Chain A
């Protein structure tokens, strides 16, 4: 327990978390601090490219094995399955309608790539290795949750047929294409390719992540300020309990398929995190009657800060205790 608290304490004092806290505090205090949209988008493209490339280069260095397929399979199963658990928990813990509960559930089956990036940064800081292909697992987990949510709505007879083109948009959304594409480039060019551009994608990485998280703090703070009356106590409790439940399942699956300590941490983080980019856009098209203030505030205002501050160190500690390392 003391080890977990020490890890959490060290994590809370890192520049990454403090940058997020600054953004959150500035937005809650109604400061006019803001990051222009184009800069935020540019930073997200940089982070996705860097994390994908480094993952691919790591796979090129260490080689592929059967665990890759099992990890991707586990990710897909988690993404399909977690919304069902989230939906059941929401129906018990909150007064949300079926539609709102299904839309929220989709977010919790999908992933937050920024939480994933922050976790890889924490692992690097602790010199804990993780399988490079976890980037591919992250990409595979983006979309299946949306199908589960649509099924949850459709089986009640309140849903409509999926709009033509929606599946293509989900599978080919920019973040998936960039993540998978840079992963493939990293795999093809390997360590040599990484050495060529490391001054761009390795050294400045943490600094850009700090600025990006400053922006995430601003967005989360604004969301919390504008939607403070949207979430009841049950919903906030869900936003903290659901990532813990997801991480526990991720831990079990990671251990079963034989991932390293770092790999288990990343699978826990993926299972614990909730989407706030790809899924909200898909929900606006597929389930427009669902209230975006509910799912965005829960995902970005409750679960994301929880994972970033307390969740990641907790997952690192649990994985280290279970797997060793």
Chain B
């Protein structure tokens, strides 16, 4: 089957920042993304879990698949939001079936 190259960007960020990040991505021309709740983890700020958390605590993962030529614009927009915050931004190569959707 015909596949097309794309970039997959995963951004793990604190829940209170979710709206700001997705707004910035939309403004940067990203037409789609997926937000996934993250159950727990550990990093420079120590271990954490979302069990029993109330309010807007915890972390989320925002996943985007885009055409490679749009990567820089997306990263600039994302970095403006996540620069001062706890989180992880990673980029990997991916293959998609329907290139026109990204």
Measured CB to CB, the residues of A under 8 A from B are 34-37, 40-41, 44, 163, 165, 173, 175, 215, 218-219, 222, 226-227, 276-278, 280-282, 284-285, 288-289, 292-293
Contact = CB atoms under 8 A, between A and B. Distances in A.
B14 to A, nearest CB: 5
Given A289-B84, A292-B45, A280 B52 contact: no
Contacts of B86: 288
B1 interface: no
A277 B54 contact: yes
A88 to B, nearest CB: 27
Interface string B31-55: 0000000000000011111111111
A284 B14 contact: yes
Interface string B1-41: 00000000000001111001000000000000000000000
A227 B56 contact: no
Contacts of A288: 84-86
B56 A219 contact: no
B40 to A, nearest CB: 10
B73 interface: no
Interface of B: 14-17, 20, 45-58, 84-86
Contacts of B55: 44, 175, 276-278, 280-281
A41 B53 CA distance: 8
Contact of A227 (B17, B46, B58, B84): B46
A227 B48 CA distance: 11
Contacts of A226: 46-48
Contacts, number: 61
Contact of B16 (A219, A276, A284, A293): A284
Contacts of B17: 284-285
A159 B58 CA distance: 25
Q: Which of B46, B49, B54, B85 has the most CB of A within 10 A?
A: B54
Binding site of A, secondary structure by majority: helix, strand, loop or mixed? Answer: helix
Contacts of A219: 52-53
The 5 A-B pairs with the shortest beta carbon distances in the complex, nearest first, are A277-B55, A34-B51, A281-B56, A35-B52, A281-B16
Nearest to A287: B84
Nearest to B85: A288
Q: Which of B46, B48, B49, B52 has the most CB of A within 10 A?
A: B52
B84 A40 contact: no
A35 to B, nearest CB: 4
10 contacts: A36-B52, A37-B51, A44-B54, A173-B56, A222-B49, A276-B55, A277-B56, A281-B56, A293-B45, A293-B46
A277 B9 CA distance: 30
Q: Which of A34, A173, A226 has the most CB of B within 10 A?
A: A226
